[in-house]
Structure 1
């Protein structure tokens, strides 16, 4: 009888695991953090295009289904400097999150610059910042990129036009995009300048060092975390892998196709060597992500980590 009950229990657990994909635990409050989670996009970012293509594909649903309160930061210009994005993000938080409520910022790529600037502007509203393959010290090919990033040239004009186009598609205000400012923000020089005043959790002395988890931002404690990706080609069905395969050939070394491993380090490094590329980390494109590691598992697990820390 006891063996029969064990068998029935095992079958029920198997069925539950099949109907609840991506779940690390079968609890309705697994991702129920104390403070809301705000997802912040990176360069050429958006919230949603046409209500079909979300920047963080399926992430909001997968977090909300077990208790999290999740927002996608909108009205953040597709391409501009970290300072401008940070001001836009802080304004969005104050306009959309109830007064006095703190938020946990999950920031992808250049979005982590906006998150750190927002922490400087409204430190009393930020509980934590998580850098998801974030640009904290510059993108790949820093010196090479700096040579081609000049104000007013074709690259600047292309970036501005593309930014305005993405803003138009996503329903944001058109006309605020600045290609030069956005691209310069990705260079080592641009990062160094921003980090002078907004380098929370970033080791500005050691090239491959990281800062503390707990950071004092003008008298307010803000916890900082980071996830680091180091793979380029992760899924043959993902068209973005073609780009990252090319950047991997042009720029050898440890990076996720766009950001060097050392640049991604910030605060408490939760995942030091994820087998995913830069777009995989935001569950793009449309979920055609790394065959080695499911991003949804990471997002849900990190929400539970924040919950256990009282955040």
Structure 2
């Protein structure tokens, strides 16, 4: 049976740190975009700085929301942000709620990332390690921008890292608290200023069995740096740190990057990450969004 799940408003897929729309024939959101288009949706992937703070990326997103609204004639957009993209989406919704129908956080560090905390402490402010890290990461971001054709956008790796720490996101949350839960691990308001808020995320599959997936292996290594949520994280973001608005689920068996792509092999026990986006389009449609 053919599925039909067109949302009322266009969908913007917002990438996170070191993200991009397209490099050559490779698209970061390729599977997600194709699946959403296949069920009748208008889907766009905005160009944002690969590395920068949440407000800067949020302002870039606002500019592109305006372009989508002009080009489609729509009144609002649905924002689905992966990782740091969720924070840019939250910023846009807080600043211009009349232009945003919904914000969906996918594996978003809505209360900060313990991994970012560890990396920030490992760098010495103003000294050589920080300067080297800033230089290397920014050059890498510039390289990605060159390949993706977005060289006009500014990059700042240290600004991005600071913006993802628990302290940095805490300051961001003080200014833009829409959709945040009042209690740790709880749900947040499902609707604020007319904007609907949703979230979903995953935790690393059991580490009892060795993995042949190099990305998942990397996430398993990074998971060792978590202390608040040591067994409840996806390698980059803690389970409860990801909560925003209506929490659809935060313990899918997915590492941080698996929520963007279909697995190479079907395990039978894990969800199809791309199907989650299609199900969410149906959810948005049912809500009139």
Residue matched to 2:264: 288
Alignment of 1:224-243 (within 5 A): 224-231=197-204, 236-243=211-218
- State TM-score, norm by structure 1: 0.83
- Displacement, 1:259? 0.2
Contact kept in structure 1, 2:110 and 2:242, CA below 8 Å:
yes
Decide which structure has the larger Cα Rg and report it. 1
Listed as ranges, the gaps of 5+ residues in structure 1 are 1-25
Deviation at 1:72, TM superposition (A): 1.0
Equivalence for 1:212:
189
Equivalent in the alignment of 1:154: 132
Residue of structure 2 in register with 1:183 after alignment: 161
Q: Is the contact between residue 35 and residue 127 of structure 1 (CA under 8 Å) also seen in structure 2? A: yes
> What is the rounded CA distance, in whole Å, between the counterparts of 2:265 and 2:244 in structure 1?
24
Alpha carbons of structure 1 residues 174 and 238: separation in structure 2 relative to 1, 3 Å? farther
1:121 deviation in Å? Answer: 2.5
Query: Structure 1 pair 289/278, CA: closer, same or farther in 2 (3 Å)?
Result: farther
Contact 2:199/2:245 (<8 A) preserved: yes
Q: Identify the range of structure 1 (142-151 vs 243-252) with the bigger mean alpha-carbon deviation.
A: 142-151
Q: Deviations over 1:207-266 (max 9, x none)?
A: 3333111112xxxx0000000211156994532112112112343321001101111000
TM-score, with length taken from structure 2: 0.89
CA distance in 2, matches of 1:81, 1:172: 17
- d(CA) in 2 for partners of 1:132 and 1:146? 23
**Separation in structure 1 between the aligned mates of residue 31 and residue 259 of structure 2, nearest angstrom:** 12
CA change 1:84–1:290 in 2 (3 A) is farther
CA-to-aligned-CA distance 1:110-167 (integer Å, 9 cap, x gap): 0011001111222111000000010101112454233134365222222211111111
1:303 to 258, 277, 281: 281
* RMSD over aligned Cα atoms: 2.1
Q: Aligned pair count?
A: 276
- Equivalent pair of 1:247/1:258 in contact (CA under 8 Å): yes
